[in-house]
């Protein structure tokens, strides 16, 4: 059943927003705790203009994996789209601090 997941996510990202979200619902049924599914769902919500839903998915992703850099970046992007610039900056600063932790020591 999980073998269908990659093609399901590819279909979600290349479909119109409403169809994408239906595909994501199917992917969530296949693997409800998947970071990839959560992130793809957040991006689909973002492109559909469902910013609050995207924020919820991103927070759910960060609950599963607080160090997931891409989730912090997208959270900043979604907050900026909602004109929540203070929150956007905080999310992006968190992402930047994580990049610093990933860099090799000099």
Q: Where residue 12 falls among pLDDT bands split at 50, 70, 90?
A: low
What are the structural domain ranges in the chain? 2-102
Least confident of 8-17, 71-80, 89-98: 8-17
Indicate whether this model's pTM tops 0.85: no
Considering only residues 9 and 58, tell me which one the structure prediction assigns the higher pLDDT: 58
DSSP letter at 14 equals T
Q: Which CATH class is domain 2-102?
A: mainly alpha
Amino acid 2: pLDDT: 47
Give the span between the Cα atoms of 106 and 88, in whole angstroms. Answer: 30
pLDDT at 14 over 60: yes
Mean pLDDT of 78-101: 92
Considering only residues 40 and 105, tell me which one the structure prediction assigns the higher pLDDT: 40
Q: What is the DSSP string of 67-105?
A: T-HHHHHHHHHHHHHTT-HHHHHHHHHHHHHHHHHHSPP
Amino acid 6: pLDDT: 57
């Amino acid at each position: 059943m999980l073998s269908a997941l990659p093609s399901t996510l590819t279909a979600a990202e290349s479909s119109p927003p409403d169809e994408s979200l239906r595909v994501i619902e199917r992917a969530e049924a296949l693997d409800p705790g998947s970071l990839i599914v959560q992130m793809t769902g957040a991006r689909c919500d973002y492109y559909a203009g469902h910013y609050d839903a995207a924020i919820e998915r991103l927070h759910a992703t960060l609950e599963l994996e607080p160090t997931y850099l891409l989730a912090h970046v997208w959270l900043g992007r979604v907050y900026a789209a909602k004109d929540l610039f203070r929150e956007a900056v905080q999310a992006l600063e968190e992402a930047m601090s994580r990049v610093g932790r990933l860099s090799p020591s000099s």
